Amino acid sequence: MSRMLEIWRHHKILATAFAVMVIITLALGLRLAFFSIYWATHRDLPIEAWMPVGYIARSHGIPVDRLKQVTSGTVGDRDRRSVEEVAGDMGISTRQLIERLESEIATYKQERRSGAGS
């Protein structure tokens, strides 16, 4: 403990910078652990009306651009609108859009399986 006090007395800026870096490292490590656990338990969720297209893409491991194609260009980058809102903008029912998204996901996964086997 006396060594720590000596370092603090003689190197306050360095000790403060070290403490800040330790706190930042811990915060980023906790964030990484949280997101890793979250996405490990939220794989291949059934599509629901509240979900944004990006969330669906991440849950199913499909590039978001593939699902954006299904929305006929109504979903932009970082678009947080729900499937229900996007379907309304497209003039179709939420169920129809969900079916289209499910079909695209199934097609993508089939392409991945057949591509991996060749």
Look up residue 79 and give its two tokens: 């678009």
CA separation for the pair 43, 30 (Å, rounded)? 20
What is the reported pLDDT for 73?
Answer: 76
Q: What is the pLDDT of residues 42-79, one digit of tens each?
A: 899 999 999 999 999 999 999 999 999 998 777 877 88
Q: What is the band of 2 on the pLDDT scale with cuts at 50, 70, 90?
A: confident
Please give the share of the chain, as a percent, with pLDDT higher than 90: 67
What is the reported pLDDT for 76?
Answer: 79
pLDDT over 60 at 3, yes or no: yes
The DSSP symbol for 44 reads S
CA separation for the pair 65, 77 (Å, rounded)? 9
CA separation for the pair 61, 105 (Å, rounded)? 9
CA separation for the pair 7, 48 (Å, rounded)? 56
Shortest CA distance to 41 belongs to which of 59, 61, 62, 63? Answer: 59
